[in-house]
Amino acid sequence: MQATVGSRDRPHILRVMSPLAVPGEGISHEELQLATRNRGMPLEALRYDVTPVGMHYLLVHFDIPAVDPVAWRLRVDGKVSEPLELTLDEIRRRPSRTIPVTLECAGNGRARLEPRPMSQPWLVEAIGTAEWTGTSLAGILDDAGIAADTTEIVFTGADHGVEAHVEQDYQRSLPLSEARRDEVMLVYGMNGRPLEPQHGFPLRLIVPGWYGMASVKWLNRIEAITDRFHGYQQAGAYRYQQSEDDPGLPVTRIRVRALMVPPGIPDFLTRRRIVDAGSVTIVGRAWCGEAPVERVEVGVDGEWSDARLERPLGDWAWSAWSLAWEATPGERVVTCRATDAHGNTQPTEQPWNLQGMGNNLVQEVSVTVR
Ligand SMILES: Nc1nc2c(c(=O)[nH]1)N[C@H]1C(S)=C(S)[C@@H](COP(=O)(O)O)O[C@H]1N2
Ligand SMILES: [Mo]
């Protein structure tokens, strides 16, 4: 699986996942191609409790598969006593629930790392909150009668492609204890409508609290296994590695983060902000998959003040926050940072890792107050 030689004569460090850009190297056409396929949420959409579907971030590794909902079946098999083959109608007839969940891509913030891992070049915008409607995964696992010695559940999507020279279906696993959690759902609805093709129609997994890669889209198979799953997206990708030889730890839950709606008006090209002097309300959202968000602070030119933090939209969704700022004329840098109930806070210098995973660097917005 190890890559050997570069396809271009760029002095990239080559490895399983993707090359590193050399310091100062601009975004390539290949990265731009990924960036235009995989949109981010415009930061002004932080104003909505629930992100409109068309503004929710999107991450698709391969192509969006064409799925015929009539012919489609969900297979539940492996180490089970009752293998199941469910139609969409059968899944829709099961007990249903709607919960708001904040999803974030584990690669969010990757483009700011030095050296930059070449992959989807997110800045900060790989985020969104939707109201997901579906049925509990645990109920389906119970109906299938999974074996007592089951260790992991493997989820397979209908999309297929090549990544790091490995041809594959998109597949991820969860330890049984995580898969059984009450809030883990198989969903067919997003914001009160059927899933759109790009978000996993007709059915996807939602794993609240975990980075987005766990929430397998276009789900067509659930398999109970009694050993470890070693598929590429589990054993190769989504690991906190320092080097290619470092097996690293797996990426799991979302680290604490706050983002603000950039205040004032933008300059078209640079997005630099222009704000009129006087009272300005800075607003944003904060979230964490490891523990509740306990505190949000806003910094102006390095001076921090506590923001007013609202109750979260749900157990697995973001909280709104706000702060009144008396803006005085000049060039200002506005930042925000959140802290969770475990005392984890966001770094002002992001620790580096090879795949650019789990970044939660403090957001910095440059503002001209006039
Ligand atoms: N089948 C499949 N599921 C997938 C992916 C994918 O490429 N294929 N991408 C994953 C990643 S990396 C993320 S961040 C989320 C994104 O979900 P969204 O596009 O609905 O926001 O889906 C996850 N589920
Ligand atoms: Mo992702």
Q: Average the pLDDT over 357-369 and give the result.
A: 98
Question: Is the distance from CB of 130 to CB of 101 less than 8 angstroms?
Answer: yes
Find the ligand nearest to 38 CA: 1
Model confidence pLDDT, tens digit, residues 26-38: 999 999 999 999 9
Does 262 lie in the same domain as 236? no
* Domain, as residue range, for 240: 2-250
Which of 205, 221, 250 finishes a domain? 250
Give the mutation target among 215, 221, 355, 357 for probing the ligand 1 site: most ligand atoms within 8 A of CB.
215
Position 6 pLDDT exceeds 50: no
Distance CA 46, CA 68 (A): 34
In the listed set 227, 250, 273, which residue is the last one of a domain according to the structure?
A: 250
pLDDT at 20: 95
Long-range contact pairs involving 311-315 (C-beta distance under 8 Å, separation at least 24): 312/287, 313/49, 313/50, 313/100, 313/129, 314/99, 314/100, 314/101, 315/99, 315/183, 315/208
What pLDDT is stored for residue 95 in this prediction? 98
Q: Are residues 261 and 191 in the same domain?
A: no
Output the furthest CA–CA distance in the chain (Å, rounded): 70
Which ligand lies nearest the alpha carbon of 110?
2
Residues 68 and 213 in one domain: yes
Residues 195-253: tens digit of each pLDDT: 999 999 999 999 999 999 999 999 999 999 999 999 999 999 999 999 999 999 999 99
Report the run of H or E that residue 312 belongs to, with start and end.
Answer: strand 308-312
Give me the number of domains the chain comprises. Answer: 2
Q: Are residues 110 and 153 in the same domain?
A: yes
Taking 80 as the threshold, does the pLDDT of residue 192 lie above it?
A: yes
Residue 44 has what DSSP assignment?
G
pLDDT of residue 14: 35
Domain boundary (204, 233, 250) is at 250
Residues within a 6 A CB radius of ligand 1? 56-61, 103, 105, 157, 159, 170, 199, 212-213, 215-218
Are residues 337 and 189 part of one domain? Answer: no
- pLDDT tens digit sequence for 99-122: 999 999 999 999 999 999 999 999
CATH number of the domain residue 319 falls in: 2.60.40.650
If asked whether residues 264 and 337 sit together in one domain, one would say: yes
On whether both 301 and 345 belong to a single domain, the answer is yes
Pocket test for ligand 1, best of 34, 37, 61, 125 (most atoms within 8 A of CB): 61
pLDDT in the model for residue 17: 57
Whether residue 131 has pLDDT greater than 90: yes
Whether residues 239 and 356 share a domain: the answer is: no
pLDDT tens per residue, range 254-270: 999 999 999 999 999 99
Same domain assignment for residues 204 and 266: no
What are the tens digits of pLDDT across the range 84-96?
999 999 999 999 9
Atom of ligand 1 nearest to the CA of 159: 1
* Same domain (yes/no): 20, 150: yes
CA 244 – CA 12 distance, rounded (Å)? 13
Same domain, 180 and 281: no
Q: What's the confidence (pLDDT) of residue 18?
A: 64
Locate 125 and state its tokens.
């915008």
Asked if residue 15 has pLDDT above 90, the reply is no
> Is residue 243 located within the same domain as residue 271?
no
Token pair listed for 318:
């973001």
CATH code where residue 86 lies: 3.90.420.10
CA distance 215 to 119: 19
